[in-house]
Amino acid sequence: MKAIVVDKTGGPEALQFKDSPKPKAEAGQILVKNHAIGVNYIDTYHRKGIYPMPTPFIPGAEGAGEVVEVGPDVTDFKVGDRVAYTGSKSYAEFTPVPVLSAGKIPDNVSYSDASALLLQGLTAWTMVRDGYPVKKGDYVLVHAAAGGVGLLLCQMANLLGATVIGTVSNDEKAKLAKQNGAHHIINYSHEDTVARVQELTNGQGCHAVLDGVGASTFETSLKSVRRLGTLISFGNASGVVPPISIAILGEKSIKLMRPRLYAYIATKEEKDKWWGELFQLLADKKLNIQIYKTYKLEDAKTAHTDIESRKTVGKLLLEL
Ligand SMILES: NC(=O)c1ccc[n+]([C@@H]2O[C@H](COP(=O)([O-])OP(=O)(O)OC[C@H]3O[C@@H](n4cnc5c(N)ncnc54)[C@H](OP(=O)(O)O)[C@@H]3O)[C@@H](O)[C@H]2O)c1
């Protein structure tokens, strides 16, 4: 089959389009022929070696397609089922997927939409429902508000009744984040985020700060949380947050959380709950899926260059 293979970690050029052995569905797995493959920031961490993986490896954490083979003991799925999944090795024509990581998708949901929504949608929904359960009247600050996770966070926090403040780097992103639920936008290229947050929250700061940018925003995020508030640091787009002394949380008695999605969907019950709620939001037309661009699988390196260049908004996909 055709696949993207990383023999040696590094820049986007590490993503090589190659022939690779076609996998089989082993016990507990289904084999999925991918129709849409999600690009996620974590793919860049794997490619660069920030999250180390044994080489060579096929990157990719999400996809959607049809089941073409089921493992010996698999009863929940059959050949021909339309599925989406989170996991690994999705930058390929075929991906073996443990059944726990896969789910059937409704007939009226396209492979592209399923793959655009799943990983970022689960990340965002678990964050606003469990990481910090957003409630009516809250102020919530969302960094990278026009990004893949960011646009979904804006919509979801708005839906739950919060006043959403989004940070972005340019006016085009500002417009999109506003169209997707942000009430106030801070363009940090020419505005002071901490000062604007204080102004918008009557000097109190935000109940929750949702920060997927990491190193460059951590200080700003700390200053933007209100007394007894919550800071969720969920990613490293600008680099890994350096080690901190927990004493810094004491000044305002704030909670600090560092979630990873996989801890939320570790059992079938958990997976069914969060998937069910997410796809229900979609069925109820409460979510707008924003696809920036669909690239050919062989152009994965361009997709990585683009997402790291900060020019993208919403979701990037690959197709064969
Ligand atoms: N914890 C989890 O389980 C989990 C799951 C999914 C995603 N994530 C994290 O969520 C974050 C967002 O992921 P995404 O795929 O939706 O990406 P994204 O937000 O679409 O892209 C990253 C955005 O971060 C902002 N940014 C600020 N400084 C940056 C820098 N130095 N380099 C690159 N980007 C910078 C840019 O927006 P502006 O130009 O507007 O600032 C950029 O568009 C990532 O950190 C990712 O790792 C975590």
DSSP-assigned states of every residue in the chain:
-EEEEBSS--SGGG-EEEE-PPP---TTEEEEEEEEEEE-HHHHHHHHTSS--PSSB---SEEEEEEEEE-TT--S--TT-EEEEESS--SBSEEEEEGGGEEE--TTS-HHHHHHHHHHHHHHHHIIIIIS---TT-EEEESSTTSHHHHHHHHHHHHTTPEEEEEESSHHHHHHHHHTT-SEEEETTTS-HHHHHHHHTTTS-EEEEEE-S-TTTHHHHHHHEEEEEEEEE---TT-PPPP--GGGGTTTT-EEE---HHHHTSSHHHHHHHHHHHHHHHHTT-----EEEEEEGGGHHHHHHHHHTT---SEEEEE-
φ and ψ at 68, to 5 degrees?
-115, -10
Would the CB of 304 count as within 6 Å of ligand 1?
no
pLDDT of residue 266: 97
Sign of torsion, CA 214 217 218 224? negative
Q: What ligand 1 atom has the least distance to the C-alpha of 311?
A: 43
Taken in order of first residue, the domains within the chain and their CATH numbers are 2-118+267-319 (3.90.180.10), 136-258 (3.40.50.720)
pLDDT of residue 149: 98
- Using 50 as the pLDDT threshold, list the residues of the chain that sit under it: none
**Separation between Cα atoms, residue 243 and residue 284, nearest integer Å:** 42
For residue 282, report the distance from its CA to the centre of ligand 1, in Å: 23
Q: Look over the chain and give the mean of its residue pLDDT values, rounded to a whole number.
A: 98
pLDDT of residue 33: 98
Alpha carbon nearest to ligand 1 atom 28, residue: 238
pLDDT of residue 275: 98
CA 137 vs. chain centroid, Å, equals 25
Would the CB of 149 count as within 6 Å of ligand 1?
yes
End-to-end CA distance of the chain: 11
For residue 291, report the distance from its CA to the centre of ligand 1, in Å: 15
pLDDT of residue 79: 98
Q: What is the largest CA-CA distance in the chain?
A: 61
pLDDT of residue 158: 98
Over residues 42-62, the pLDDT tens digits come to 999 999 999 999 999 999 999
pLDDT of residue 74: 97
Would the CB of 150 count as within 6 Å of ligand 1?
yes
For residue 144, report the distance from its CA to the centre of ligand 1, in Å: 6
CB of 95 within 8 A of CB of 23?
yes
Over residues 201-258, the pLDDT tens digits come to 999 999 999 999 999 999 999 999 999 999 999 999 999 999 999 999 999 999 999 9
